[in-house]
């Protein structure tokens, strides 16, 4: 059997580019992309991608060149997910909330050859390009004008639609020779450190896309709304995934309640992805923005822990949530909280608690574990012993661009280290407790900020909550809560602390509560805890009241947690 041939017919590079050709052949007249008044079919999308790929080649873009783009969720950005790798190049979709300095850093570091800029982002892009000037080779700039209602805004001479019109709609892209060649370059959002350039391969992108379609149970012909930025891990691979299912992409420029409810009603959206923070936009929509859901909308959420209380609330509105966990380095979601039928029978609150766990490996992952990072011993599968979440499998990045040190630190002993602290339950489901940098160590005990936030979200008046360490003269660190309140709500700090005492072991109760109009967030809706930590460092905790049980609770689970400290 070993002698059977491995040939061009049975050993073909895995790449998500095959999804587009298939969609164009099979779903040729079905809507591929809708954006306001513009609607393309899969045949048109395929032709537009061929045009763009050939135009890029004629601009001297060749293998492994980086093509950067700064744009919201518009058709052009969707098309680039296919067209750029069809030209042999690597797509670098830049986070649109970054400032000029960071954009310049990315352009310089990636050595971008072409820079596509949505017309709305011309001012910040112009500033970024100015910062690039001294001694750097400048990328060629192409502005993407509004496709529905052109503005005439330009930066240089090239415009996206004009460029497309010069391309060849019958272009035949070269086959991908090596499935491990790069397809995308995504910079981490820098929540915890400097942005790093994460490189994905064609193979990794292909396998992750398939796994997520399966993990979420996305059927054929979904109507997918782009509430998650495409620049975030290539839209958790659904840029490629919607083509694989012959679906329809509903593009929205901004993730507001009005745009989301409007698109759901107008196009019969069936699927969407978002960070849990977006639930608040849907829940707090003004009456004139809100539309009733005629059929359940499937949401895949992740990127930050979805508090159980919030899951319960959003599902009551008619959304059905699947929870996933991942990171840029894992091509987006690496774990999905796969629902088991036997859980259908449990109470609503218990369902939300089970669903708030981060889950089990997607099929592409060879393995997931929670380990002591020093000894590499797996922790006990008891839902209590904490360790670092580690992953291995084909959906993990190739590495960080031009950063061997960071790459070798992330890959150790055959595993990828996520930097997240978690537990494994006896049923094999992983639950995240914190990022290692966010764990609060109070009097020698680990406090999971995620757990304290979960308790805060149970308070009806709290819309957003984040808990960070605050210096404490006696305990070293103690939890400090930052909360955003629902409009017109005005609970006192003492009331919130009292609520926490009723829901948490007392040593976990925040010693201070700060009320905020807005919590600082990244473009993907993640709360930037480093900013809150910097604020909390300057706080002076109130003097301790003598309480018999403070820091000496009798809860077994918490004692075990302390024993299993990292
Ligand atoms: P950055 O690390 O720069 O924020 P990522 O977007 O890759 O960039 O963030 C990944 C991190 O987000 C994970 O390491 C984890 O801490 C957090 N995260 C992602 N999904 C979840 C989830 N479902 N629950 C809790 N935390 C999550």
Burial per residue of 108-118, b for 16 or more beta-carbon CB atoms within 10 angstroms, e otherwise: bbbebbbbbbb
pLDDT of residue 261: 98
* Residue 372 maps to a domain: yes
Identify the domain boundary among 354, 389, 421. Answer: 421
CB distance 515 to 483 below 8 Å = yes
* Nearest-CA residue for atom 20 of ligand 1: 303
Are 128 and 194 members of one domain?
Answer: yes
* Residue 6 maps to a domain: no
Q: What distance in angstroms lies between residue 326's CA and the mean position of ligand 1's atoms?
A: 6
435 lines ligand 1 (CB under 6 A): yes
* Nearest-CA residue for atom 27 of ligand 1: 304
C-alpha–C-alpha distance, residues 475 and 386, integer Å: 21
Are 414 and 457 members of one domain?
Answer: no
C-alpha–C-alpha distance, residues 90 and 183, integer Å: 5
Domain around 376 = 17-421
Are 394 and 477 members of one domain?
Answer: no
C-alpha–C-alpha distance, residues 480 and 564, integer Å: 23
* Residue 427 maps to a domain: no
pLDDT mean values, one per 10 residues, the chain (566 residues): 89 96 98 97 98 98 97 98 98 93 92 98 97 85 96 95 98 96 89 79 98 97 97 97 98 96 97 93 95 96 90 94 96 96 93 94 96 96 96 96 96 96 97 88 86 93 94 90 92 95 91 94 79 91 56 33 30
Q: What distance in angstroms lies between residue 277's CA and the mean position of ligand 1's atoms?
A: 13
pLDDT of residue 543: 76
Q: What distance in angstroms lies between residue 502's CA and the mean position of ligand 1's atoms?
A: 29
C-alpha–C-alpha distance, residues 509 and 503, integer Å: 9
Name the residue of 198, 229, 276, 326 whose CB sits within 8 Å of the most ligand 1 atoms, as the mutation to test its pocket: 326
Are 309 and 392 members of one domain?
Answer: yes
232 DSSP assignment: S
* Nearest-CA residue for atom 9 of ligand 1: 327
Place of tokens 């400090």: 480
Place of tokens 């996305």: 218
Atom of ligand 1 nearest to the CA of 330: 7
Are 452 and 417 members of one domain?
Answer: no
Q: What distance in angstroms lies between residue 237's CA and the mean position of ligand 1's atoms?
A: 16
* Residue 289 maps to a domain: yes
Q: Diameter of the chain by CA atoms?
A: 78
67 lines ligand 1 (CB under 6 A): no
pLDDT of residue 193: 58
User: The domain that contains 513 carries what CATH number?
Assistant: 3.30.300.30
CA dihedral 118, 119, 120, 123 (to 10 degrees): 100
Are 155 and 50 members of one domain?
Answer: yes
* Residue 11 maps to a domain: no
Q: What is the pTM of this model?
A: 0.89
C-alpha–C-alpha distance, residues 276 and 283, integer Å: 11
Atom of ligand 1 nearest to the CA of 188: 3
Q: What distance in angstroms lies between residue 294's CA and the mean position of ligand 1's atoms?
A: 32
Three-state secondary structure string covering 241-290? HHHHCCCEEECCCCCCHHHHHHHHHHHCCCEEEECCHHHHHHHCCCCCCC
Are 411 and 277 members of one domain?
Answer: yes
331 lines ligand 1 (CB under 6 A): no
CA 127 vs CA 141, 155, 189, 277: distances in Å: 13, 12, 20, 30
H helix or E strand, kind and range, residue 79: helix 75-86
Domain count, the chain: 2
**Cβ neighbourhood burial of 258 (10 Å; 0-12, 13-18, 19+):** middle
User: The domain that contains 219 carries what CATH number?
Assistant: 3.40.50.12780
Phi, psi angles (nearest 5°) of residue 113: -95, -35
- C-alpha dihedral sign at 299, 303, 306, 310: negative
* Residue 556 maps to a domain: yes
Residue 359: how many CB atoms within 10 A of its CB? 26
* Nearest-CA residue for atom 13 of ligand 1: 327
CA 253 vs CA 36, 60, 234, 378, 490: distances in Å: 10, 30, 16, 44, 34
């Amino acid at each position: 059997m070993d002698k059977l041939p491995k040939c061009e017919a049975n050993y073909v590079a895995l790449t998500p580019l095959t999804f587009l050709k298939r969609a164009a052949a099979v779903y040729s007249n079905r809507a591929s992309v809708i954006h306001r008044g513009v609607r393309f079919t899969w045949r048109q999308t395929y032709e537009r991608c061929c045009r763009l790929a050939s135009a890029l080649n004629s601009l001297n873009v060749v293998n492994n060149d980086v093509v950067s783009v700064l744009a919201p969720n518009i058709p052009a950005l969707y098309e680039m997910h296919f067209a750029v790798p069809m030209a042999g190049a690597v797509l670098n979709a830049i986070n649109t909330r970054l400032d000029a300095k960071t954009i310049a850093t990315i352009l310089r570091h990636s050595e971008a050859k072409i820079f596509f800029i949505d017309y709305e982002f011309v001012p910040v892009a112009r500033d970024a390009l100015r910062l690039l000037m001294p001694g750097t080779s400048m990328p060629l700039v192409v502005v993407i004008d509004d496709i529905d209602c052109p503005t005439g805004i330009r930066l240089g001479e090239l415009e996206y639609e004009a460029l497309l019109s010069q391309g060849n709609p019958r272009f035949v892209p070269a086959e991908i020779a090596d499935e491990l060649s790069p397809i995308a370059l995504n910079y981490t959002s820098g929540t915890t450190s400097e942005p790093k350039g994460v490189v994905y391969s064609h193979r990794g992108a292909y396998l992750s896309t398939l796994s997520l379609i399966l993990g979420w149970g996305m059927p054929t012909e979904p109507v997918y709304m782009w509430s998650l930025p495409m620049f975030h891990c290539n839209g958790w691979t659904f840029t490629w995934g919607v083509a694989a299912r012959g679906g329809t992409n509903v593009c929205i420029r901004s993730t507001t309640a009005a745009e989301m409810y409007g698109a759901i009603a107008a196009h019969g959206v069936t699927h969407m992805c978002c960070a849990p923070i977006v639930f608040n936009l849907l829940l707090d929509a003004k009456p004139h923005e809100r539309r009733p859901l005629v059929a359940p909308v499937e949401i895949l959420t992740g990127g930050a822990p979805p508090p159980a209380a919030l899951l319960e609330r959003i599902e009551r509105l008619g959304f059905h949530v699947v929870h996933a966990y991942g990171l840029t380095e894992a091509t987006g979601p690496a774990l999905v909280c796969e629902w088991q039928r036997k859980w259908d029978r449990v109470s609503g609150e218990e369902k939300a608690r089970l669903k708030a766990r981060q889950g089990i490996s997607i099929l592409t992952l060879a393995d997931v574990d929670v380990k002591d990072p020093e000894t590499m011993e797996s922790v006990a599968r008891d839902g209590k012993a904490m360790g670092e979440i580690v992953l291995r499998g084909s959906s993990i990045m190739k590495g960080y661009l031009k950063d061997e040190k960071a790459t070798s630190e992330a890959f150790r002993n055959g595993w990828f280290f996520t930097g997240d602290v978690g537990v494994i339950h006896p049923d094999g489901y992983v639950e995240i407790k914190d990022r290692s940098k966010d764990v609060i160590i109070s009097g020698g005990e680990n406090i999971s900020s995620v757990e304290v936030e979960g308790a805060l979200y149970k308070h009806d008046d709290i819309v957003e909550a984040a808990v960070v360490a605050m210096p404490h003269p006696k305990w070293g660190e103690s939890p400090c809560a930052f909360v955003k309140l629902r409009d017109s709500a005005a609970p006192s700090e003492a009331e919130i602390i009292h609520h926490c005492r009723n829901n948490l072991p007392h040593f976990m109760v925040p010693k201070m509560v700060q009320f905020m109009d807005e919590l600082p967030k990244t473009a993907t809706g993640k709360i930037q805890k480093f900013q809150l930590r910097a604020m909390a460092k300057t706080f002076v905790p109130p003097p301790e009241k003598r309480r018999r049980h403070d820091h000496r609770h009798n809860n077994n689970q918490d004692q075990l947690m302390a024993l299993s400290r990292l």
